[in-house]
Amino acid sequence: MKQVVAMLLALMLASCTHVRSSQGVSLDAEGTWLVLPLVNRTGTPQAGLRAAAIVESVLYRQGVTAVENYPETGNDGLLFEASSSANREKMDRWVQSQSARYVVSGVVHEWRYKTGVDGEPAVGVMLEIRELPSGKIVYSGTGARAGWARTSLSQTGQKVIDKLLAPVIR
């Protein structure tokens, strides 16, 4: 019986989303929220763009009615790397030209299927929200999750991002 309980507990813990974030943050869903492509620190192409698309969806689901994505121009979407200094400067100029309340940015540090028999999805994301026009960080959080063998990478990413954003939007 003890072995069964231990096994069930291990399974529950394996499917948890681990989140560390700013405490006591409550941000207003009103006003425009900007979403920048997340910096991709993984070996997976376009992981930052994929995560940013999920951020946009989660913001809408949490009641934010005005969300603006950083616009892709030309072939930026194919090879975009949000960490390059030229692209960061372009994004900073775009943010300053907007009339918005918050800007969401961050880093994707894991976005892949693990190797092995089951190939479970693994996601690790850091998000930060800045208040505009001051640029002051009002929220920062990081989350990670390893999904089950039949779970998609996008679904796992959505769970992590939802756990990060849902508690802070009112």
pTM: 0.84
Q: What is the pLDDT of residues 136-155, one digit of tens each?
A: 999 999 999 998 877 899 99
Q: What is the pLDDT of residue 114?
A: 85
Q: Token digits for 98? A: 């907007």
- SS3 category, 141: strand
Task: Give the model confidence (pLDDT) of 83-131 as tens digits.
Answer: 678 888 999 999 999 999 999 999 999 999 887 767 889 999 999 999 9
Q: What would the pLDDT profile of 70-88 be if each residue is shown by its tens digit?
A: 987 655 555 566 767 888 8
CB burial readout 127-143, b (16+ within 10 A) else e: bbbbebeeeeeebbbbb
Q: To the nearest 10°, report the CA torsion of 21, 110, 61, 78.
A: 130
Q: How many CB atoms lie within 10 A of CB 80?
A: 19
Reported confidence tier of residue 9, pLDDT bands at 50, 70, 90: very low
Q: DSSP secondary-structure letter at 85?
A: H
Give 82's contacts (C-beta < 8 A, 6+ positions apart): 36, 37, 38, 39, 40, 48, 88, 91
Domains in the chain (CATH in brackets) are 17-168 (3.40.50)
Q: Environment class of residue 57 by beta-carbon count within 10 Å: exposed (0-12), middle (13-18) or buried (19+)? A: middle
